[in-house]
Amino acid sequence: MYTILAINPGSTSTKVAIYQDDKAVRELTLRHSTEELAPFAGVLDQFDFRKQIILDAMKEAGVTLSDIDAVIGRGGLIKPVKSGVYEVNETMIDDIRHRPVGQHASNLGALLAYDIAREAGAKAYMADPVVVDELQDVARITGHPDIERVSIFHALNQKAMARAYAEKRGVRYEDLNLIVVHLGGGISVGAHRKGEVIDVNNALDGEGPFSPERAGGLPALAVAKWAASGKYDIRQIAKFINSRGGFVAHFGTNSAMEISKRAEEGDQRAALVQDAMCYNVGKAVGAMATVLKGQVDAIILTGGIAHDKYVCKYIGDMVSFIAEVVVMPGENELEALRMIECLKMSGLEIKDIKQFMDWCVEGASTYPLRRELLEKQKETVEAEIAHMNKFLDMLRFKCWYYDQAIQDGSEDRIKSLLPDHLPDDIQPLYDHAHQ
């Protein structure tokens, strides 16, 4: 039985799941209020706080560090990479600690996975980190050569939901054009063309709709005047943009549920700002529809805020003329991480895992192909087990051999029993080891 620890630190929550093989034995989502996170100067300062949450979840589930076979964390702001699975190494850790592309809670995913895995004597992995970069070249250019658009978004969940939708439809993800909207502490709107996210707003550094924590796109000159006023340093301004914007700036809370409740109870200001957020999401979806030249198979709303029916209806009313709007609430990063890690723990190489997941997307027609791949891997593992059992019997024989030598004070008697006159319980060990 394999025990897998999956870690997903987000801007407003820490999600932890413990799996034994394919069964979740503990799932925890702990929400973090603005007040709770306020004492920490930066994301990395939250390391001990978040680690203790994870260790507490493990303890509650009756799982110790020695039980852990692998740890997989939500990937953070490393250098841009292609979509896939990566083993966390010292270079990644050094980059995140000293040369991060940006500050985000997902940076803690790799750090926590690596630290806990090291204590457990296991390996640490990340999958589809937030810096997955599949942008088409034309999407990178801005109106000034010193500034280029970069890809930072909820890659893991967007990709997982796009694949889940394709599987439900019985088609390949690579054959669809989708717009995926992640509604969480940050909001990202991605244009998925034939399996690649060719355009998406930088959901961290000031692009796209504002969100519970992000200021989103702001008038550039107004921001420049703000920065030049001398009232704030660059660190403070960065916080205003990526962690103290949106609902936090307007109301002092990052809770979308609280703002929704206020709106329902008649708070006109809360209702207006919530509508403005939805309005901006709708505009972003419309923009991505033009990126896909109007050829959109579906618009997927996902993330924690997709549980809010009012928010989804508002956005749906704006964009349903473009394509079918599909609501897939929740954040499925942990399940995606677990699936990938289970395949990896089976011994499959990364290329085979990718092939297997592609077949899953294609639907039931690929059942025979999936079965064949797993059967081949089973045969490989069985051969390795048989080989190791031979070595194990040799070790068992040798341990008995030297027990007798120690008892007799020499090897003479034991050698006289070789090769065919050993005790009944030892002879099979010798014979198997010497085949």
Label residue 200 by pLDDT band (50, 70, 90).
very high
| More confident position, 85 or 343 | 85
pLDDT of residue 390: 86
| More confident position, 218 or 345 | 218
pLDDT of residue 99: 82
Surface-to-core class of residue 409, CB atoms within 10 Å of its CB (0-12 exposed, 13-18 middle, 19+ buried):
exposed
First to last CA, the chain: 30
Domain spans in the chain, listed from the N-terminal domain onward? 1-129, 132-331, 372-433
Name the average pLDDT for the chain: 88
| Cβ atoms of residues 10 and 154 within 8 Å | no
State the CB neighbour count (10 A cutoff) for residue 367. Answer: 12
pLDDT digits (tens, 9 = 90+) for 123-154: 999 888 889 999 999 999 999 999 999 999 99
| More confident position, 31 or 234 | 234
pLDDT digits (tens, 9 = 90+) for 235-285: 889 889 988 999 999 999 988 989 999 999 999 999 999 999 999 999 999
| More confident position, 295 or 35 | 295
What is the architecture, at CATH level 2, of domain 132-331? 2-Layer Sandwich (3.30)
Please tell me the distance from the alpha carbon of residue 245 to that of residue 285, in angstroms, as a whole number: 21
> Measuring CA to CA, which residue among 199, 361, 202 is closest to residue 292?
199
Q: Residue 422 pLDDT > 60, yes or no?
A: yes
pLDDT digits (tens, 9 = 90+) for 98-119: 887 777 788 898 899 999 999 9
Label residue 357 by pLDDT band (50, 70, 90).
low
Top mean pLDDT of 10-24, 188-202, 404-418 is at: 188-202
Please tell me the distance from the alpha carbon of residue 229 to that of residue 290, in angstroms, as a whole number: 38
Label residue 97 by pLDDT band (50, 70, 90).
confident
| Cβ atoms of residues 139 and 149 within 8 Å | yes
pLDDT of residue 37: 81
Please tell me the distance from the alpha carbon of residue 150 to that of residue 264, in angstroms, as a whole number: 37
Residue 26 per-residue DSSP state: E
Measured at the alpha carbon of residue 190, what is the angle toward residues 24 and 256, in degrees to the nearest 5? 65
CA 385 from chain centre, in angstroms, equals 32
pLDDT digits (tens, 9 = 90+) for 307-342: 899 999 999 999 999 999 999 986 555 566 666 666
List, in order, residues 6 or more apart from 2 with CB less than 8 Å away: 19, 20, 21, 69, 70, 342, 345
Sign of the Cα torsion 136, 74, 243, 245 reads positive
Quickly name the fold that domain 1-129 has.
Nucleotidyltransferase; domain 5 (3.30.420)
| Cβ atoms of residues 159 and 83 within 8 Å | yes
Please tell me the distance from the alpha carbon of residue 28 to that of residue 15, in angstroms, as a whole number: 6
Do 1-129 and 132-331 agree at the fold level? yes
pTM score over 0.75: no
pLDDT of residue 364: 61
Please tell me the distance from the alpha carbon of residue 193 to that of residue 213, in angstroms, as a whole number: 28
Which of 150-159, 177-186, 212-221, 330-339 comes out lowest in average pLDDT?
330-339
Q: Residue 96 pLDDT > 90, yes or no?
A: no
Please tell me the distance from the alpha carbon of residue 332 to that of residue 328, in angstroms, as a whole number: 9
pLDDT of residue 265: 94
Mean predicted confidence (pLDDT) in 200-224: 93
Please tell me the distance from the alpha carbon of residue 146 to that of residue 32, in angstroms, as a whole number: 36
Which of 75-84, 236-245, 247-256, 395-404 comes out lowest in average pLDDT?
75-84
| More confident position, 198 or 25 | 198
Label residue 219 by pLDDT band (50, 70, 90).
very high
pLDDT of residue 153: 93
List, in order, residues 6 or more apart from 106 with CB less than 8 Å away: 9, 10, 74, 75, 76, 77, 129, 130
CA 98 from chain centre, in angstroms, equals 22
Beta bridge partners of 177: 193
Which of 38-47, 221-230, 346-355 comes out lowest in average pLDDT?
346-355
Label residue 121 by pLDDT band (50, 70, 90).
very high
Measured at the alpha carbon of residue 329, what is the angle toward residues 288 and 252, in degrees to the nearest 5? 85
